[in-house]
Amino acid sequence: MNILGLVLSFVLIFIIIGIATILQKIGALGDEGARKFIHIGVSNWWILAMFFFDNVIWASIAPFVFIILNYVSYKINLIKAMERGGKGTLGTVYFPISLLILVIVTFLIEQPFIGAIGILILGYGDGLAAVIGTKYGKHKLMLGKSVEGTITMFVASLIVSISLLAIFAPHFVWLAVVIALFATVVEVVTPKGLDNLSVPLLTSAFSYLIFILVQVI
C-alpha cells in the first residue's frame, strides 16, 4: 500500500499540474488562477496519504521530492503554471516544506487528521481567499489582504474543519468555529508566501493543543 500510495501521489500531483497548464494555455485560467488551481488541488494529496501510507518514511518521500522540484522550478521557471516569473516568492517551496513537517509530526503521533486540518485549510481557505480577494476584494485590510478574501478564508476554513471533525471527532464539531477563526487570523497577519508555512503549521499545532484541552485525543 505504501508503494501504491507513492505512485498515486506523483500521478495525482502531475495530473493537477498538467490540467492547470492546459487550462492556462487555452486561456481558461490566468497565471494566478493556474497557481491557485494547483495550490488547492495538491492539498488533497493529504487525503490520499491518510488512506495509503502507514509509514512516515514512505509518506515523506513525495513532499521531500517536491521541495527540491519546486525550488528548481522557482529558480528556472520550470513549471510555468506554478510560478509568477520575476515577481515570484518561495511560497511554492514553503508548501511542500509544510507538508513534510506535518507528515513527520502527525504520522509519528498517529494523528494524521491533525495535519489534514492545517493542509486542507491552507489549500481551500487560503487558495479560495486569494482568488476571491483578487477578483472582488474592494475593501482592503493589512498586507494587501481584503475583507472579501478574509471572509472567504473563514467560510472555507469552517467548511473544511466541520467536514474533518464530523469524521474524526464528531462530538466536537463545534471546535470548527474556533479553528477556522484562528486560521483566518493567522492568514490575515502573515505576509504573502509565508502563509504557506504559518497557516498549516500553526493551525495544526493549535488544533492539537485545543483537542488535548477538551480530551479529544
pLDDT, one tens digit per residue, over 85-125 is: 555 568 889 999 999 999 999 999 999 999 999 999 999 99
When computed from its CA atoms, the radius of gyration of the chain, rounded to whole angstroms, is: 17
Q: φ and ψ at 176, to 5 degrees?
A: -55, -35
Q: Which amino acid does the sequence have at 93?
A: V
Residues in the chain: 217
Which residues sit opposite 146 in a β-bridge? 140
pLDDT, one tens digit per residue, over 47-62 is: 999 999 999 999 999 9
The three-state secondary structure class of 146 is strand
Please give the model's pTM, rounded to 2 decimal places.
0.91
Q: What does the angle CA 199 – CA 77 – CA 134 come to, to the nearest 5 degrees?
A: 45
